[in-house]
């Protein structure tokens, strides 16, 4: 079973996803306001046990998915983390010795089934399919061989980007990466129990059914364990923190001519063992 955050009749809830809908468990565990609190208390096993043999409290169509962790302490994204992405820059440089990082704010994401929002200031809304990890155990200067034990769950991310705003400054991309509701995260949290869940799995992005991105996590320039070790060198990672681990080649900006997202488009991001994150596009 996977864990979800959702709203129903204006009330924010969390629980588990079932075949016919979702089961709200937050009313039974009032000590945990969000799934971040559940993770911080290391209570995921208790939640999953409580859901055994239950049926949906909210059938499909009677609830709306929201971002799985609505209150992360921080979201850090890893840039240019696949070999072909490095080659896209056509600068003749080998892969850098250290990873590129930038922050995202939670309000820049919507949940499963919601529309990404194209702002009036730019038509260059782009997609980036990625896997995100949710930290479950606090750590600083985490050893690489211990890094995966700090993961609580996996989810998917459409790291939607306003491309021309990425290039507004010389050294940073933050303003192009943080437009309200420009990206998506979800649909749920998959509890992390085995390194095989992340070491070499397929990741694909489709736009209107057309395959645009496809690669495997085993080809990452900076594997997830290295990401955790490196990031935790300079900042303490805490339960509920999120690392967005990098996107394959094939984003809209890299086509000739570029292919930007437009209202009515559908983006599906799929990863083995995690599921599919699906979103539409609408104008603000």
Could you read off the pLDDT of 147-173 as tens digits, one per residue? Answer: 999 999 999 999 999 999 999 988 889
Residue 232 scores a pLDDT above 90: yes
Residue 92: pLDDT over 70: no
Band of residue 87 on the pLDDT scale cut at 50, 70, 90: low
Structure tokens that stand for 39 in this block: 């993770």
Q: Which residues contact 21 (CB under 8 A, 6 or more apart)?
A: 56, 57, 58, 59, 60, 62, 63
- pLDDT tens readout for residues 14-55: 999 999 999 999 999 999 999 999 999 999 999 999 999 999
Residue 90 pLDDT level (bands cut at 50, 70, 90):
low
CB proximity list for 5: less than 8 A, separation 6 or greater: 12, 13, 14, 34, 35, 65, 66, 67, 68, 69, 70, 111
Check residue 88 and give its pLDDT: 59
Helix, strand or coil, per DSSP, at residue 125:
strand
pLDDT band at 83 (very low <50, low <70, confident <90, very high): confident
- Inform me whether the pLDDT recorded for 79 exceeds 70: yes
Confidence of residue 91 (pLDDT cuts 50, 70, 90): low
The helix (H) or strand (E) run that includes residue 35 is helix 35-40
Answer whether 15's CB lies under 8 Å from 25's CB: yes
C-alpha torsion sign, points 224, 229, 230, 232: positive
Residue 233: its pLDDT value, please?
98
Model-wide pTM > 0.85: yes
Residues 6+ apart with CB under 8 A from 107: 180, 181
């Amino acid at each position: 079973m996977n864990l979800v955050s959702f709203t129903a009749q204006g009330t924010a809830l969390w629980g588990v996803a079932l075949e016919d809908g979702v089961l709200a468990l937050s009313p039974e565990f009032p000590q945990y306001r969000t799934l971040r609190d559940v993770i911080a208390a290391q209570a995921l096993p208790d939640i999953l046990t409580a859901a055994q043999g239950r049926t949906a409290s909210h059938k499909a169509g009677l609830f709306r998915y929201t971002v799985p962790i609505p209150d992360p302490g921080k979201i850090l994204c890893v840039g240019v983390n696949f070999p072909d992405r490095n080659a896209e820059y056509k600068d003749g440089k080998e892969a850098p010795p250290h990873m590129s990082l930038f922050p995202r704010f939670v309000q820049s994401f919507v949940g499963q089934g919601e529309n990404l929002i194209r702002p009036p200031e730019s038509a260059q809304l782009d997609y980036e399919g990625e896997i995100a990890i949710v930290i479950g155990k606090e750590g600083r200067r985490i050893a690489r061989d211990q890094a995966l034990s700090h993961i609580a769950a996996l989810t998917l991310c459409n790291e939607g980007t306003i491309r021309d705003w990425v290039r507004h400054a010389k050294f940073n991309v933050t303003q192009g990466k943080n437009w309200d509701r420009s990206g998506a995260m979800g649909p749920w949290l998959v509890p992390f129990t085995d390194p095989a869940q992340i070491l070499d799995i397929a990741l694909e992005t489709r736009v209107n059914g057309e395959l645009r991105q496809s690669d495997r996590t085993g080809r990452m320039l900076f594997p997830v364990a290295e990401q955790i070790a490196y990031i935790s060198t300079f900042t303490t990672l805490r339960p509920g923190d999120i690392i967005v681990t990098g996107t394959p080649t094939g984003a809209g900006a890299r086509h000739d001519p570029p292919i930007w997202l437009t209202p009515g488009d559908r983006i599906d991001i799929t990863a083995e063992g995690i599921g599919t994150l699906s979103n539409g596009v609408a104008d603000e």
